[in-house]
Amino acid sequence: DSGVTQTPKHLITATGQRVTLRCSPRSGDLSVYWYQQSLDQGLQFLIQYYNGEERAKGNILERFSAQQFPDLHSELNLSSLELGDSALYFCASSVGTVKETQYFGPGTRLLVL
Amino acid sequence: DQQVKQNSPSLSVQEGRISILNCDYTNSMFDYFLWYKKYPAEGPTFLISISSIKDKNEDGRFTVFLNKSAKHLSLHIVPSQPGDSAVYFCAASVINTGTASKLTFGTGTRLQVTL
């Protein structure tokens, strides 16, 4: 158990809908990262927050957004969902922002029908 | 553009033998490298890392080798155990700028350790 929790574990929705994925980092970790893993793909970095502020952005679609709240949990919002958004979404956390081991949650499996 | 490549999607090794997983990268800015292991239905778990100022780092049965001139790193597992059967991801990061350390992952190698 990495100490990072993600909810829900599974999510099935329809095209055009909007969903919110939630992540609680390990106790004491200030950084939260979001990654997407599509079929047969490696993990693609989406976005990072540190202590409530956006720190780095990857190939995150404009339809996707994220935020980190004062209690340090984070939410990833996916809107106008398309079939190709079906993937595993992982959250990771670390103490700081540089050269810190990232600890991953179990992921949320999203299926868009 | 895949900046981190794991060209072997799968590898099968007998228990007790050495497992060698390979990873190549193209971005010369990468200066920190990590290996993660992933079991089904779980998130990746950190295994071992290496900074670009080193060419080897060892932790128990796991050793990572870095060849900067070839932009190549490898993970050696000796001896391999059935519990090592998992998908192994290589990841790279740029940390010398002192800013956020996003990880760039390879596509993974599925290791099967057979009895």
Residue B99 pLDDT exceeds 70:
no
Cα B44 from chain centroid (whole Å): 12
The DSSP secondary-structure symbol of B60 reads: T
pLDDT by residue for chain A (113 residues), tens only, comes to 889 999 999 999 999 999 999 999 999 999 999 999 987 677 899 999 999 999 888 889 999 999 999 999 999 999 999 999 999 999 999 987 766 789 999 999 999 99
From the number of C-beta atoms within 10 Å of its C-beta (0-12, 13-18, 19+), residue B40 rates as exposed
Residue B101 pLDDT exceeds 90:
no
pLDDT of residue A96: 78
Which of A:18-47 have CB within 8 Å of B?
31, 33, 35, 40-45
The arithmetic mean of pLDDT across residues B46-73, rounded, is: 96
| Cross-chain Cβ contact A42/B107 below 8 Å | yes
B41 close to A (CB below 8 A): yes
Structure tokens at B100: 């956020």
Closest residue in chain A to residue B44, using alpha carbons only: A104
Q: Which residues of A touch B46 (CB under 8 A)?
A: 101-103
Alpha-carbon torsion angle A34, A37, A112, A13, nearest 10: -40
pLDDT band per the 50, 70, 90 thresholds, residue B98 = low
